[in-house]
Amino acid sequence: MKRIGFIGLGIMGGPMALNLVKAGFEVYGYNRSRPALDRLVRGGGKAAGSIAEATNGADAVITILPDTPDVEQVALGAGGVLENARPGLLYIDMSTIRPAVARTLAKAGGAKGVRVLDAPVSGGEQGAIEGSLSIMVGGEPDDFAAARPILEALGKTVVHVGGAGAGQTVKAANQLIVAGTIELVAEAIVLLEAARVDTEAAVRVLAGGLAGNRILERKAGGMLARQFKPGFRVELHHKDLGIAQEGARELGVVLPLTAVTTQLMASLRAQGYGSLDHTALLKLVEQLSGRDRREEGAKE
């Protein structure tokens, strides 16, 4: 396991590829835009001119791309990974996509002797840079074992959670909990502010008890200050909630709270806040409660 093709050198993929270089792998990166490739080369990686070039001769190929159709095209399309793959190649998709498509990739790979894993990540740009991502992996146990040294160069928590698609389902579950929790914290904050409670003191007590969560710990400060610089963008979380909804629909699972959260996230996006941090759900609770006036007044 020496040579890795790495496709998708964006905000997440760029630093991840560099971490693989640092860990001693020979990394052939591919990206549509040039500057990202240059950064990889400056960091010790190599630039591939095509998916084929990144795939040929590789022991493993990693993709991390924005959305389901991107992965479908890069993996399954003409000139794509599977077309160029030799039997025995390890193909790890680390994008966040629909679990059903992850299973399709596994099946299509299997037919060509390619070993496929779905391995979406959580932890954001910071985690990608620090190599401290959480990675939830679906696929065959042997393939997971084979991929482990690679994944451990990228993340701190690397867990095998089941067969093909399982990683994506856990990611979907992660995203529904995160979005719902942000909304709950937003509802709490607006209630507290409306009641003229000392919200900073309140957040401290809340974070210390059974209501405690990572959003209260890491994000409530920004929410109280109305700083919605991403972080993780509303439009991406909106996409991910769509994946969760679709997965639930296929499995016949009913998610009442997630359905409402999805509408709220969709509203943020529809109102033009797609590029804010997902904690901007607070703005929506304020709007619904008629408490966004002051701010508007202040602007005038």
Tell me, yes or no, if 171 is annotated catalytic.
yes
48: three-class secondary structure by DSSP: coil
Selected binder of a second copy within 45, 109, 131, 242 (CB under 8 A): 242
The C-alpha atoms of residue 51 and residue 65 are separated, in whole angstroms, by 13
1 neighbors 150 (Cβ within 8 angstroms): yes
Q: Does 215 bind a second copy (CB under 8 A)?
A: yes
42 neighbors 64 (Cβ within 8 angstroms): no
The position carrying tokens 């599977």 is: 82
C-beta of 13 vs 99, nearer to a second copy = 99
- Token pair for 19: 């971490």
User: In the beta sheet, which residues pair with residue 47?
Assistant: 29
Q: Does 255 bind a second copy (CB under 8 A)?
A: yes
Selected binder of a second copy within 39, 46, 125, 134 (CB under 8 A): 134
* Interacting residues with a second copy between 85 and 104 (CB under 8 A): 99
* Interacting residues with a second copy between 150 and 179 (CB under 8 A): 157, 159-163, 165-166, 169-170, 172-178
158: three-class secondary structure by DSSP: strand
Selected binder of a second copy within 49, 79, 212, 221 (CB under 8 A): 212
The C-alpha atoms of residue 144 and residue 137 are separated, in whole angstroms, by 7
Catalytically annotated residue among 171, 219, 239, 283: 171
Stretch that binds a second copy, among 31-39, 45-53, 88-96, 253-261 (CB under 8 A): 253-261
Q: Does 224 bind a second copy (CB under 8 A)?
A: no
Provide the annotated active-site residues: 171
